């Protein structure tokens, strides 16, 4: 949508003093909702997700971590606000946009936005049967490993973004060395992408993450060619 001129990455979000770009590279100063003890306890008890506005207010009540652009801190709330902006501008629900703009053009038939507990019934992990994906307020995609690989390959081959936007997406903010529990030995963060080195393996770009029952780390090795 930024490529089409429908969203300005550098414009401040209404009611805030940071931009969409700062949400995507985590330099907005927003706290993270995962740091709320009540959130983690509710997830552990398999409760229903809170109303989005309640989650937002509880997270913001923790206070800003720093002024926009003056630091770095991962914030899932930032991604939630980015999703809200995308839906508002497009006038369409996020699930529809994922299908229309990503899955359909790339033929990713297995990928869908999980929105109910039943959407997790097809997953391989027993713990997923009780988890409500609504606790991931910015959205939780499910699909096959093959389609995850195809999505990243298509992205870096320019099938979703033009060369200028793809280059802009990969401009990274260094965040330090090794991350506990993750493969990175040196890491930076770009616009929704982690970018760094994994020891002798070399440079990788992608994203790592985890939840109550699983962790995942889809990432292509660079350089990436059209024959990969």
Q: Name the residue ranges covered by the structural domains of the chain.
A: 1-106, 169-228
Rounded Cα gap, residues 139 and 154, in angstroms: 21
Is the pLDDT score of 31 beyond 90? yes
Is the pLDDT score of 221 beyond 70? no
Q: Which residues contact 65 (CB under 8 A, 6 or more apart)?
A: 29, 30, 31, 71, 73
132-171 per-position pLDDT tens digit: 999 999 998 888 989 988 998 899 899 999 999 999 998 8
Residue 178: band (very low, low, confident or very high) from pLDDT cuts 50, 70, 90: confident
Q: What is the pLDDT of residue 215?
A: 47
Helix, strand, coil shares of the chain, percent, nearest 5, are 40, 15, 50
85-140 per-position pLDDT tens digit: 999 999 999 999 999 999 999 999 999 999 999 888 777 777 677 889 999 999 98
Its pTM stands at 0.85
């Amino acid at each position: 949508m930024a490529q089409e001129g429908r969203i300005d990455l550098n414009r401040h979000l209404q009611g805030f003093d940071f931009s969409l770009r700062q949400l995507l590279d985590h330099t907005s100063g927003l706290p993270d909702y995962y740091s709320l003890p009540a959130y983690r306890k509710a997830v552990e008890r398999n409760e229903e997700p809170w109303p989005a506005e309640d989650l937002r207010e509880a997270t913001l009540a923790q206070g800003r971590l720093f002024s926009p652009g003056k630091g770095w801190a991962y914030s899932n709330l930032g991604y939630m606000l980015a999703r809200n902006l995308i839906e508002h501008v497009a006038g369409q629900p996020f699930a529809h946009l994922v299908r229309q703009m990503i899955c359909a053009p790339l033929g990713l038939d297995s990928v869908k936005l999980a929105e109910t507990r039943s959407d997790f019934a097809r997953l391989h992990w027993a713990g997923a049967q009780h988890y409500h994906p609504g606790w991931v307020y910015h959205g939780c995609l499910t699909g096959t490993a093959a389609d995850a690989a195809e999505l990243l390959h298509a992205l870096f081959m320019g099938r979703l973004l033009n060369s200028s936007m793809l280059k802009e997406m990969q401009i990274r903010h260094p965040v330090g060395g090794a991350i506990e529990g993750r493969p990175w030995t040196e890491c930076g963060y770009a616009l929704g992408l982690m970018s760094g080195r994994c020891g002798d393996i070399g440079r990788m770009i992608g994203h790592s993450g985890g939840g109550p029952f699983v962790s995942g780390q889809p990432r292509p090795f660079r350089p990436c060619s059209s024959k990969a």
